[in-house]
Structure 1
Amino acid sequence: MTAVPEDLEPAPTSLAERAYAAIRDRLVMLDIAPMAAIDEAALAEAIGVGRTPVREALKRLETERLVVSYPRRGTFATSVDLTELAYVSEIRVRLEPWAARRAAEHAGEAARAQIGELADALATTEAHRLSRHELMRWDLRVHRALYRAAGNPHLEDTLVRYHNLATRIFCLFVDRLAHFDRHVGEHVHLLRAVADRDPSGAEQAARDHVTHFEKAIRAVI
């Protein structure tokens, strides 16, 4: 079974960025459970930073609807609100096809080579053998690589934010979902369309992928 490759996001440039990335992924993957209290001291120790970078990261994560702070009570992971699925999907189904088209049109040779390698690695992965955590890491890896390849940092930031919210819903129901092979196959098709400079194919593949995701979640709610 092919291991999940490391994310190729740029290395954090500050302790606050390092804390942000680490806490964000814990929240997105539900390693910090919805509505759980945030233990700043424990997070600082686990990440290897001080309390100040953790607090700065939490302020940023609050604007992304991943944590919420209450006076005199503390900071908590937000709940996973299923009523947001339609709103999140409405945004993603419009922006993700555009990002995929941009990636196919504008990604440089190095970026397209990395995306092609990612497609090849994923194509050899047996989806039914993936653990919940491995499947979710693959999903994050694929989408973040595509958003970055689109070459628009504002579009990337927006899509990462909404994909994070969708991923929390995905994590909540992943053990009840079937057709992992199709989900992975859609990723491979999308990645290859970008690597092959096929803007129309990439755009359609991204649109289909978001639509199929929402339908799959609704089928098990």
Structure 2
Amino acid sequence: MEQGRAMAPAGEPTFAERAYRDIRDRLIMLEIPPGAPVNEDLLAQSIGFGRTPVREALKRLQYERLVVAYPRRGTFATEVNITDLAHISEVRRQLEPTAAACAAERATAADRAVLGELLRRLEREATVGQAGDALMRLDLQVHRAIYAATHNPYLEDTLVRYDNLATRIWCLFVDRLPGMAGHVVEHGPLLRAVVDGDRDRAAELAAGHVSGFERAIRKAI
């Protein structure tokens, strides 16, 4: 039986889900550069799964605008188009404050424990400092934890998609953004507001974060 069709143990992500997460994050972090061909065989070898889960993952990633497939040409990582920034920000300005408010209101004790640990990591980052790649991954973790705490799978899925696209833009211009660490660390007050259940403060901070991100990118262009 091809490994991709094997059943994962109960409660664990399927091979297709694991392949999807791995390839998705490679695309987000530009480890697979924009416009680069996506070779199913090479990906399957590097991930350690068969071609079936990789093929399934690429279908999902095409829907999420991270890859594009052309007949008789193959599959490619989508280009990072700076003109998309306005469209992405338009969606995030509406939904990020909603998500932050919902998370503050609905987060379970387990959610608040996760968010509290991320807050402590951010506080350590403010004094120690990390490499750019580690900062980017920490930023993704913070956003995804807040979205998960909304307990609204439709809102979570939508915002994960748009945050992924925004992060690709950020990665493209990271060398021109010397204040990246500050941008990530400023999540601290937002996390505190969510943990404390202050929905209005959380929404306000989330809105400011999205606007600040867009201004920083436009200044770097």
TM above 0.5: yes
Change over 3 Å in CA distance of 1:30–1:127 after alignment to 2: farther
What residue number does 1:24 align with? 24
The one-letter amino acid of 1:53's match is: P
CA separation of 1:58 and 1:157: change in aligned 2, threshold 3 A: same
Whether contact under 8 Å (1:186, 1:205) holds in the other structure is no
Q: Deviations over 1:21-47 (max 9, x none)?
A: 110000000000000000111110111
| Partner residue, 1:131 | 131
Which position in structure 1 is the counterpart of 2:39?
A: 39
- Measured against aligned partners, the alpha-carbon deviations of 1:161-194 in whole angstroms (never above 9, x if no partner) come to 0001000000001111122343133211111110
Q: Give the Cα–Cα distance (whole angstroms) in 1 for the partners of residues 127 and 184 of structure 2.
A: 7
Whichever residue aligns with residue 16 of structure 2, its letter is: A
Alignment partner, residue 53 of structure 1? 53
Partner of 2:157: 157
After TM superposition, list the pairs within 5 Å mapping 1:141-156 onto structure 2.
141-156=141-156
Going from structure 1 to structure 2, the CA distance change for 1:157 and 1:14 (only over 3 Å counts) comes to: same
2:119 maps to 119
CA distance in 1, matches of 2:180, 2:113: 25
Change (3 A) 1:25 1:175: same
SS in 1 for 2:76: strand
Give, in whole Å, the separation in 1 of the partners of 2:149 and 2:121.
18
- TM-score, scaled relative to structure 1: 0.92
* Structure 2 unaligned blocks of 5 or more: 1-10
Asked if 1 retains the 8 angstrom alpha-carbon contact of 2:135 and 2:181, the reply is: no
TM-score calculated relative to the size of structure 2: 0.92
Bigger relative contact order, structure 1 or 2, given CA contacts below 8 A and separation 6+? Answer: 1
Query: Aligned residue pairs: how many?
Result: 211
SS in 1 for 2:141: helix
- Deviation of the 1:117 alpha carbon: 1.7
Aligned sequence identity (%): 59
Q: Is the 8 A contact 1:127 1:180 kept in 2?
A: no
Q: Report the counterpart of residue 64 of structure 1 in structure 2.
A: 64
Report which stretch shifted further, 120-129 or 46-55. Answer: 120-129
Q: Match for 1:130: what amino acid? A: Q
Correspondence for 2:199: 199
- The one-letter amino acid of 1:21's match is R
Whether the 8 Å contact between 1:20 and 1:61 is mirrored in structure 2 is yes
Change (3 A) 1:218 1:13: same
C-alpha deviations, 1:46-76, integer Å up to 9, x for none?
1111001101110111011000011111100
Q: Does 1:79 align with 2:85?
A: no
The residue correspondences of 1:182-221 to structure 2 (distance < 5 A) are 182-221=182-221
Q: Which amino acid is 1:27 matched to?
A: L
RMSD: 1.4
Per mean C-alpha deviation after superposition, the further-off stretch among 179-188 and 34-43 is 179-188
Give 2:179's aligned amino acid.
H
The residue that corresponds to 2:93 in the other structure is 93
What is the CA-CA distance between 1:118 and the residue it aligns to?
1.0
CA deviations over 1:192-212 (Å, ceiling 9, x no partner):
110111101100010000000
